[in-house]
């Protein structure tokens, strides 16, 4: 009886060692990626993929407008409530990049400007997936506010 228990214990130990060696050898051949080519899981917006990390930074390209999350939410609500504003089909530029003169800038709603007076000299552009807050004088993109849409399956 004791010999059967010893043999079973040795077989279990041998199987465990064999499993560890196999796992060690298999881990060396796996590329350990999650998703497509990233070693960790993350959510990436298409806008984030377009940003060139090797570009130079100048003082003219640094946005001057600093908005809190509450202020961004207020701008979002004010702009979304305007049904007659067209959504432009264009790629979203980086913050600090001036928009072309052909793009019409819209007035920020008065209820938003009353609550956030710093926005008096700013306009906005509504894109399909985000709202751009733009300086009226330089046409420079100062802030980007994402738009979230519900998708029903």
Give the 3-state secondary structure of residue 121.
Answer: helix
Concatenating the DSSP letter of every residue in 17-59 gives: HHHHHHHHHHHHHS---BTTTBSS-----HHHHH--TTS---G
DSSP 104: P
CATH class for the region spanning 54-146: alpha beta
pLDDT of residue 19: 73
What is the average per-residue pLDDT within 133-147?
89
Task: Report pLDDT for 116.
Answer: 92
Distance CA(141)–CA(67), nearest Å, equals: 13
Render pLDDT for 92-134 as a digit per residue (tens, 0 to 9). 787 788 888 888 899 999 999 999 999 999 999 998 888 999 9
pLDDT range class, residue 66, cuts 50, 70, 90: confident
Q: What is the mean pLDDT of residues 57-68?
A: 63
Question: Do residues 143 and 72 touch, judged by C-beta distance below 8 A?
Answer: yes
Alpha-carbon distances of 130 from 1, 7, 17, 36, 75, rounded to whole Å: 74, 67, 55, 25, 12
**Residue 143, C-beta contacts closer than 8 angstroms, at least 6 positions apart:** 63, 65, 67, 72, 95, 132, 133
Sign of CA dihedral 60, 67, 88, 128: positive
């Amino acid at each position: 009886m004791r010999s059967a228990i010893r043999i079973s214990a040795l077989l279990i130990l041998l199987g465990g060692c064999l499993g560890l060696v196999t796992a060690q050898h298999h881990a060396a051949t796996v590329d350990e990626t999650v998703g497509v080519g990233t070693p960790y899981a993350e959510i990436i917006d298409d806008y984030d993929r377009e940003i060139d990390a090797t570009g130079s930074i100048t003082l003219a390209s640094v946005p001057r407008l600093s908005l809190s999350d509450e202020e961004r939410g207020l701008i979002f609500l004010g702009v979304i409530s305007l049904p007659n504003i067209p959504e432009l089909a264009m790629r979203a530029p980086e913050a600090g990049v001036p928009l072309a003169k052909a793009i019409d800038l819209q007035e920020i709603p008065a209820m938003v400007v009353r609550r956030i007076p710093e926005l008096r000299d700013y306009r906005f552009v509504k894109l399909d997936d985000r709202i751009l807050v733009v300086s009226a004088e330089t046409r420079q993109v100062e802030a980007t506010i994402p738009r979230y849409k519900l998708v029903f399956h």
